[in-house]
Amino acid sequence: MAAETSPLDDAGVALAPASFASVIVDIPARALSEPFAYAVPSSLADDMAVGCTVLVAFGHRPALGYVVALADTLAALPGTESLEASRVRPIDAVLAPPSCSDLFGPISFWMSREYVAPLAECVRLFLPPGGTPRLLKGEDGSYRLERAATPEVHERVVSLTPAAADFEPSARATRQRQLIEALSYGPVTTRELNLLYTDMSAAVRALERKGVVRVDERRAWRGCDEDTTLSSARASAPRQLTAGQRAALDAIGRALDDNAGDVILVDGVTGSGKTEVYLAAIERVLAQGKSACVLVPEISLTAQTVGRFRSRFGASVAVFHSRLSAGERLDQWDMVRSGAARVVVGARSALFCPLSNLGLIVIDEEHEQSYKQGSSPRYHAREVAAQMARVGGFPLVLGSATPSAESLSRCRAGEYLGQRWSRVEMPERPGHATLPTIIVADLRREFSSGARSIFSRPLHDALMEVVERREKAVLLHNRRGFAPFLMCRECGCVPTCRHCSTALTYHERTHTLECHTCGAVCHVRPYPAPGSACPKCGSRYLAKMGMGTQQIEDALLAMLPDDVAVIRMDADTTRGKDAHKRLLEEFDAADCAVLLGTQMIAKGLDFPEVTLVGVVLADYALKMPDFRAQERAYDLLEQVAGRAGRGNDPGRVIIQTYLPDDPVIRAVAAHDRSIFTEHDAVQRLDACYPPYVRLTNVLVRGARADRVQAYIGALARRVGEGLDASCAALPESERPQILGPTACVIERAKDRFRHHFIIKTPLGFDVSSIVSRALADIGTQQGISVSVDVDAYDLM
């Protein structure tokens, strides 16, 4: 679509050879879902390019815009058939050169349509970090683009000149001799010289005056000093690949040669060497002069992963995730944009880095929910990467020991939406490493025998054996804090958040009740501490119910000898910068240690000394009100079990549960995925859930419950009318369904009431356009916000 604007001045505008441009206007509104046509004045011809940031007039106000296409004639731009060239406004100025990925235009359009999101919000994902871009008006009335507040940093590099070959320092010039000797191996920064020889500035200045050395200034890159002492991060390439690794590399090689945008799922057991497959594939891509992007689900994995990639590819690896400082994010982005980095490793946002000539995308642990964005645009990194591969003609490699139901279904079908999907199995670990032995500790029997400890007898004895042999153990408990909630023993009151309809979690270290939904904090001391009081009846018997990682940490410290390190890793202990890396390095360096943590310790970590993995209570994840709960529980248990026995010593896994006969527990215990997947597939097919249908969750928020209910009722009716009109020819069993509207499981969050309805549609059905039209027909209401989550993961 193009916008018809007011006529040009009578004098006209001299146009450049590329006379017209499609511009995305940076105004985040769903109604602005298409670019607008503008004329390119000849005065801007030299600066105009696809991807540059421009100043345009939109209505009666100036606005930022991003050029997505250039054409010699107006008719060559899409959606301009009825537009007269004389009525097209010119671009006012070029504010910044191109800084986006080559794919930003087509992928932004696709994301906007697919996820019912404002086009401007999708484009902003591809922009340099530093906040939302803004226009600033100068005193002379001109406009400029507000730059990131973080300044660039530079470093001074010292190198020898040709005159150094004939120069001989005097016998007393010791520092100059040291400097020349250091530079004989190549240029060195002044910072590195000072680290080696303390202050060398006087010698540098003296030799610079004599023309023996040259001092140049160049851009320095913050965020490149993520060195780690983790031994697994320095692993060298194996001498010989396994049969599964060779098969995976052959499949990726064929996809690289075909240039058809295929998707390859590497289905390898934990410890089977999937990372080595990624490294070898990227070596081939780099040899072709292309670049690669690698996504990992957890920040805790970046230290090990980046270490391994930098040990193989050196300084050409950039890292991109949310824990970087503003300056580090900017510099890592500029490294990629300048070509200094050709490999990016990071969380889902790394997908939008400005890699040129992208040749491969790898998504490790592709089953992870963290690849789904929780705010608009609510994209899934796997789906965006698949679209990038489709448009760019390069392969997408997905890796997991527990592939998602969606990926397995597409591989069985052989294609999805015209894109080829294939699966390669890696069923063995390299060398002599074997899968661990799984022991299920039935907590029902423990309770009936009178045991009341957090640790069952099998887990207690196994921990003691680890201490005796001076080995290491990993304990998983996916609940942080000390106790999930407090309860009054007299009236049954459970303190809940004043802003959300959720129970508050007790944190022992700070004596606080914290809301894990909105972050609200209040201070309290439960029984038997002085001053404890029920907020409802005033009773002092406010007791701690359930257990969190803090409580388990206390029990470990009381049970184990003082020389055993107990390291807790959860959202509370990893808030600081580099906290993940510091805790993992502490665990790696310890002679004997127990790593206790939430799900962040379950994936990707490679410590050969770990011989025991314990799951304190597996049942938390099994009974969540979500059809994906069992799949997530299986993924979590199988992944954490894979941390054991990765070295030469065999591993053991002890799973504590009250539900030993659950298909998830039986599948993990038997190392047989089919026990769970066959049971899960029958349930999903009967209830019409993914991967057999698509789910779209439409959620409405507002401060007044009555207004929220009225609005979502009208919206659901309009969506239903659109579905009926588009599916009239389909049989009743294949028509889309609407469930709701109803209150969300968490009905109130951050003082806003939440209601939603869910749309179930056949695979490939265009539900996004129907929801978009319904939203346009209903319009907006003040105080009411709507979010549309296509292929929803969070239904609570």
The answer to whether residues 541 and 553 belong to one domain is no
The answer to whether residues 183 and 314 belong to one domain is no
- Residue 11, pLDDT score: 40
- Residue 230, pLDDT score: 62
Q: What is the mean pLDDT of the chain?
A: 88
Among candidate residues 586, 580, 552, the one with its CA nearest the CA of residue 567: 586
- Residue 8, pLDDT score: 42
Q: In whole angstroms, what is the distance from residue 92 CA to residue 568 CA?
A: 56
The token pair at 445 is 């029997």
Beta carbons of 274 and 268 less than 8 angstroms apart: yes
The answer to whether residues 332 and 387 belong to one domain is yes
Domain that holds residue 364: 231-426
Burial per residue of 783-794, b for 16 or more beta-carbon CB atoms within 10 angstroms, e otherwise: ebebbbbbbbbe
- Where is the domain boundary, 191, 219, 247? 219
Element spanning 611, H or E? strand 610-615
- Where is the domain boundary, 167, 186, 219? 219
Q: In whole angstroms, what is the distance from residue 692 CA to residue 331 CA?
A: 43
- What's the pTM? 0.87
- Residue 234, pLDDT score: 58
| CA distances (Å), origin 67, targets 24, 58, 122, 396 | 7, 14, 14, 27
Q: Is the pLDDT of residue 516 over 50?
A: yes
- Residue 1, pLDDT score: 46
Among candidate residues 64, 54, 61, the one with its CA nearest the CA of residue 21: 54
- Residue 449, pLDDT score: 87
Q: What is the CATH number of the domain that holds 166?
A: 1.10.10
Q: In whole angstroms, what is the distance from residue 340 CA to residue 316 CA?
A: 6
Residue with more model confidence, 701 or 508: 701
- Residue 2, pLDDT score: 44
Residue 786 pLDDT class (50, 70, 90 cuts) = very high
The sign one gets for the Cα dihedral 42, 43, 47, 48 is: negative
Is 314 contained in some domain?
A: yes
Where is average pLDDT lowest: 79-83, 252-256, 616-620? 79-83
- Residue 737, pLDDT score: 92
- Residue 528, pLDDT score: 59
Where is average pLDDT lowest: 413-417, 498-502, 745-749? 498-502
Is 2 contained in some domain?
A: no
Q: Please, which residues bridge with residue 263 across strands?
A: 396, 421
The token pair at 693 is 């249908």
The token pair at 739 is 């469930």
- Residue 10, pLDDT score: 37
Average pLDDT for residues 408-429, to the nearest whole number? 95
Beta carbons of 193 and 155 less than 8 angstroms apart: no
The answer to whether residues 556 and 540 belong to one domain is no
Beta carbons of 594 and 560 less than 8 angstroms apart: yes
Average pLDDT for residues 449-473, to the nearest whole number? 93
The answer to whether residues 669 and 731 belong to one domain is no
Cβ count within 10 A of residue 142: 11
Give the position of tokens 């507000």. Answer: 146
Domains identified in the chain, total number? 6
Amino acid at 41: P
pLDDT in tens, 119-139: 999 999 999 887 778 888 888
Is 453 contained in some domain?
A: yes
- Residue 148, pLDDT score: 66
Is 417 contained in some domain?
A: yes
**Highest averaged pLDDT of the listed ranges 6-10, 570-574, 577-581:** 570-574
- Residue 221, pLDDT score: 79
List alpha helices for 422-486, DSSP H.
443-448, 457-469
The DSSP code sequence of 209-243 is HTTSEEEEEEE--TT-------GGGGPPPPSS--H
Q: Is 122 helix (H, G, I), strand (E, B) or coil?
A: helix
Q: Is the pLDDT of residue 247 over 90?
A: yes
Asked, as a colleague might, if the bond just before 238 is cis with ω within 30 of 0, I would say: no
Strand order in the sheet with 188-189: 188-189, 154-160, 213-219
The answer to whether residues 745 and 771 belong to one domain is yes
Residue 9 pLDDT class (50, 70, 90 cuts) = very low
Q: What is the CATH number of the domain that holds 774?
A: 3.30.70.600
Among candidate residues 675, 692, 603, the one with its CA nearest the CA of residue 640: 603
Give the position of tokens 């789904």. Answer: 372
Residue with more model confidence, 614 or 526: 614
Is 704 contained in some domain?
A: yes
Average pLDDT for residues 523-536, to the nearest whole number? 68
pLDDT in tens, 541-553: 877 777 889 999 9
The answer to whether residues 516 and 662 belong to one domain is no
Asked, as a colleague might, if the bond just before 660 is cis with ω within 30 of 0, I would say: no
Amino acid at 650: P
The answer to whether residues 420 and 447 belong to one domain is no
The answer to whether residues 640 and 774 belong to one domain is no
Q: In whole angstroms, what is the distance from residue 568 CA to residue 789 CA?
A: 34
- Where is the domain boundary, 636, 655, 687? 687
Average pLDDT for residues 149-178, to the nearest whole number? 85
Cβ contacts of 458 within 8 Å, gap of 6 or more: 439, 441, 654
Is 224 contained in some domain?
A: no
pLDDT in tens, 55-90: 999 988 899 999 998 888 888 888 777 788 878 899
Is 4 contained in some domain?
A: no
The answer to whether residues 266 and 372 belong to one domain is yes
Q: Is the pLDDT of residue 28 over 70?
A: yes
Beta carbons of 117 and 376 less than 8 angstroms apart: yes
The answer to whether residues 415 and 540 belong to one domain is no
- Residue 728, pLDDT score: 76
Q: What is the CATH number of the domain that holds 602?
A: 3.40.50.300
Among candidate residues 578, 584, 607, the one with its CA nearest the CA of residue 596: 584
Q: How many residues does this entry show for the chain?
A: 796
Residue 5 pLDDT class (50, 70, 90 cuts) = very low
Q: Is the pLDDT of residue 668 over 50?
A: yes
Query: What number of CA atoms fall less than 13 Å from residue 54's CA on the CB side?
Result: 31
Beta carbons of 101 and 354 less than 8 angstroms apart: yes
Beta carbons of 218 and 157 less than 8 angstroms apart: yes
The answer to whether residues 731 and 653 belong to one domain is no
- Residue 403, pLDDT score: 96
Mode of pairing for the β-strands spanning 485-488 and 652-657: unpaired
Q: Is 692 helix (H, G, I), strand (E, B) or coil?
A: coil
